Amino acid sequence: MEDMTNITEEELRRVISMVRTIDDIDLGQFQPVILKHRICRFATLQGYESVSNLVEKLVTDRSLIHIFLQKIAVPTTEMFRDAEFWVELENIINEKLSAERFIKIWVPDICGDDELNTLLVILSRNNLMHKATIYATSQFQQAIDDSKESFIDSKKFEISDANFKRMNSDNSLIQYLERLEKYYKFSPNLLDKVIFLKQCISKDTPPDKGFNLILFRNRCLFYNATTRRTVLEKIGQSLIPGGYLALGTGENLADTDQQVLLAQVSKIEKIYRKKQ
Amino acid sequence: MWYVVIGGSAGSFQTVTTILSELPKTFPHPMFLCLHRLKHIRSGFVEALRLKSKLPVHEPCDKEPVQPGHVYLAPANYHMYIERDNTIALSTEEPANHSRPSIDITFVSAAKAYGTRCLGILLSGANKDGAFGLKTMKDEGGTIMVQSPDECQVKTMTAAAIKITDVDYIFQSSQIISYLQNLK
């Protein structure tokens, strides 16, 4: 059996160079070990005999690059992942942000729409949609298109609904979805309020400034250390004083200037507040 | 320096706590634990291991540098990779072998990062996760061992590894402990 875990540094460089030329996306910014795994996984799923065969095909077949990019980005896992986090964030939204005249929110690097949709549910059930301006951005056009449509398969719905119930909710998530024949579709009424933009977080300017909340959980995992630092600096600068940043449980602000400028406000969850 | 990577699933928790309780405070090698666990239970596991261990045990954050004598437990609902620059990378990618964290992912990345200095140990478990990773470790020149299937509460995992690769040692847990205590 061919070893589907092997990709040479030279092959990796060729893939990165090809993608940069065709789609202006810099895969060199991604965490090397994860990028290699994504490429090898793609080769396996597409039925290539070896990773080398895939690399050869990628550099000669431009149409394959687009399929490759759809699969290389890492989607979020489920709605209401880490229910305890959402309980804490909902408390902050209710106790702190609801007093604001307007709430400006940014969800960068969407891929899969679970985090965005969860946020929309939280805002909706607290009657705050009318004062919220929400930006959702990604450098992957496909991620934006998918998020606008927001189809959810039944397995993901079950997992997400169970998470929702862990938030001590008496209701089902179904009230925020439309049931189609094979899928669920997230409420278009809520998605209509979102401003979707194509934006590369590491090199483009943020979609706006003065955010009250930036929801950025588990997205920096996929950037290498240098890019992560750049991205977190940008994110921190985009918050207003007193604004909140949410990261994933497995993340922190170590090795960035932001660890001085932001204070963790939750004992367990990685929710930070920009100092005044 | 060795890099010890342990994978386990159903029936492995007791073995892991026994191993940790028997290692001295001076154990110099970093250790990575990738154990299947419930994804929505984020607390309690690492605390339980800490109670038994003389070594510092923690769930690493993404990009955390690996330190000698530390034990790193893959956090719930994250894959744990080892990067070639001796840091840890976490990921929320799709489950592998129905598992997140996946033992194969940790084992393969450790094999590529550490090569001949990698020691892989596979314990009791109810699916085949880890078998391929152990094989990769062997292919990269590392040393691999499995808990004796006779001793495993569930032998599917170790049997799968024995089937696809030539393991260096098939040990009872007491022998695993002894081997680690003498690891130079």
CATH number of domain containing A114: 3.40.50.150
A226 dihedral zone (left: phi>0; alpha: psi -120 to 50; beta)? alpha
For chains A and B, what is the number of CB pairs under 8 angstroms? 78
Comparing A98-112, A168-182, B67-81, which segment has the lowest mean pLDDT?
A168-182
Whether A237 and A204 share a structural domain? yes
pLDDT tens per residue across all 184 residues of chain B = 999 999 999 999 999 999 999 999 999 999 999 999 988 888 889 999 999 999 999 999 999 999 999 999 999 999 999 999 999 999 999 999 999 999 999 999 999 999 999 999 999 999 999 999 999 999 999 999 999 999 999 999 999 999 999 999 999 999 999 999 999 8
In a domain, A149, yes or no: yes
Whether A168 and A58 share a structural domain? no
Which residue among A40, A72, A104 closes a domain?
A: A72
Which is more confident, A4 or B97? B97
For A96-153, where are the alpha helices, taking DSSP H only? 114-125, 141-149
What pLDDT, in 10s, does the model give residues A131-152? 999 999 999 888 999 999 999 9
In a domain, A4, yes or no: no
Cβ atoms < 10 Å from Cβ of A16: 18
Total domain count for chain A? 2
Q: Is the pLDDT of residue A261 over 80?
A: yes
Structural domain boundaries in chain B: 3-165
Chain B contact set for A83 (CB, 8 A): 40
Element (H, E) at A24: none
Mutation target for B interface from A34, A36, A267: give the one with most B CBs within 10 A: A34
Whether A145 and A204 share a structural domain? yes
Across the range A213-229, mean pLDDT stands at 97
Task: Tell me the CB-side half-sphere exposure of residue B49, using CA atoms within 13 A.
Answer: 25
Whether A16 and A109 share a structural domain? no
Task: Tell me the CB-side half-sphere exposure of residue A27, using CA atoms within 13 A.
Answer: 29
Measured CA to CA, the distance from residue B122 to residue B130 in angstroms comes to 7
Question: How distant is the Cα of B41 from the closest Cα of chain A, in angstroms?
Answer: 9
Chain A contact set for B90 (CB, 8 A): 221, 250-251
Integer distance in angstroms from the first to the last C-alpha of chain A? Answer: 59
Whether A149 and A36 share a structural domain? no
The whole-number pLDDT of residue A71 equals 87
What pLDDT, in 10s, does the model give residues A109-135? 999 889 999 999 999 999 999 999 999
Measured CA to CA, the distance from residue A177 to residue A179 in angstroms comes to 6
Measured CA to CA, the distance from residue B161 to residue B145 in angstroms comes to 9
In a domain, A27, yes or no: yes
> Exposed, middle or buried: residue B5 (CB in 10 Å: 0-12, 13-18, 19+)?
buried
The whole-number pLDDT of residue B111 equals 97
Residues of chain B with a CB closer than 8 angstroms to some CB in chain A: 40, 42-43, 59-64, 75, 77-78, 81-84, 87, 89-94, 100, 105, 108-109, 112-113, 136, 139
Residue with tokens 């007491």: B174
Whether A240 and A131 share a structural domain? yes
Whether A250 and A171 share a structural domain? yes
Whether A27 and A98 share a structural domain? no
Alpha-carbon torsion angle B137, B142, B147, B150, nearest 10: 80
Give the structural domain span for A121: 83-274
Mean pLDDT of chain A: 92
- Record the pTM: 0.95
Those residues whose C-beta lies under 8 Å from the C-beta of residue A235, and which sit 6 or more positions away, are A108, A201, A214, A216, A245, A258
Closest CA to B104 of B74, B63, B76: B74
The whole-number pLDDT of residue A3 equals 62
Whether A46 and A126 share a structural domain? no
Provide the percentage of residues in chain B whose pLDDT is more than 70.
100
pLDDT band for position A1 (cuts 50, 70, 90): very low
Whether A99 and A204 share a structural domain? yes
Q: Is the pLDDT of residue A18 over 90?
A: no
The residues in A 27-46 lying below 8 A from B, measured between CB atoms, are 31-34, 37-38
What pLDDT, in 10s, does the model give residues B16-56? 999 999 999 999 999 999 999 988 888 889 999 999 999 99
pLDDT band for position A4 (cuts 50, 70, 90): low
Whether A60 and A101 share a structural domain? no
Residue with tokens 């979102």: A194
Which residue among A38, A72, A106 closes a domain?
A: A72
What per-residue string of b and e applies to A43-74 under the rule 16 or more CB within 10 Å gives b?
A: beeeebeebeebbeebbeeeebbeebbeebbb
Residues facing A107 on adjacent strands: A136
| Pick from B42, B59, B60: CB nearest A82 | B42
Those residues whose C-beta lies under 8 Å from the C-beta of residue B82, and which sit 6 or more positions away, are A33, B3, B5, B32, B66, B88, B89, B106, B109, B110, B113, B114
Whether A218 and A176 share a structural domain? yes
Those residues whose C-beta lies under 8 Å from the C-beta of residue B134, and which sit 6 or more positions away, are B7, B107, B120, B122, B144, B146, B161, B165, B167
In a domain, A78, yes or no: no
Q: What is the DSSP letter of B119?
A: E
Across the range A68-94, mean pLDDT stands at 92
Q: What is the CATH code of the structural domain delimited by B3-165? A: 3.40.50.180
